[in-house]
Structure 1
Amino acid sequence: VRRLDRTPGSSSGDSLGVLLPLRAEGDLDPLFCVHPAIGLSWAYSGLLRHLDRQQPLYGLQARRFSEPDTPAPGLEEMVEDYLHEIRTVQPSGPYSLLGWSFGGIVAHAIAVRLQQEGEEVALLAMMDSYLPTDGWEGGRLSYDSPEVPSAIAESIGHDPASPESPLAGLGADAFSALVKVFVDIANLCDHISVGKFMGDILFFAAAADRADSELTPDIWSPHTNGRVEVHSIDCVHGAMTQPRPLSEIGRILAARLAGNSGQQGKV
Structure 2
Amino acid sequence: MVRYLAGFPTPFASPANAIPANYAPNYQYLANPSEAGSLIWTLNMELTPIYAIAPEGPYANLIYDRLINALAGQLLQRPIPENFAGGINGDAYQQARTTFSNNFVSRVSIPGYLTGKTVTLFSGQVVPVITPQLRGLYAWHTEILVENAIATAPEEDIARLTDALTGFLDRIFFDLRNFGTSSADRALNYAATNAFQTASVLRQATGQGMQLDTIDVDRSPFCRMDSDCWDVRITFFDPENNRRARRVYRFTIDVSDAMPVTVGDVRSWPIS
TM normalised by structure 1 equals: 0.24
Point out the structure with the larger strand share.
2
Q: Name the structure, 1 or 2, with higher relative contact order (CA <8 Å, separation 6+).
A: 1
TM normalised by structure 2 equals: 0.24
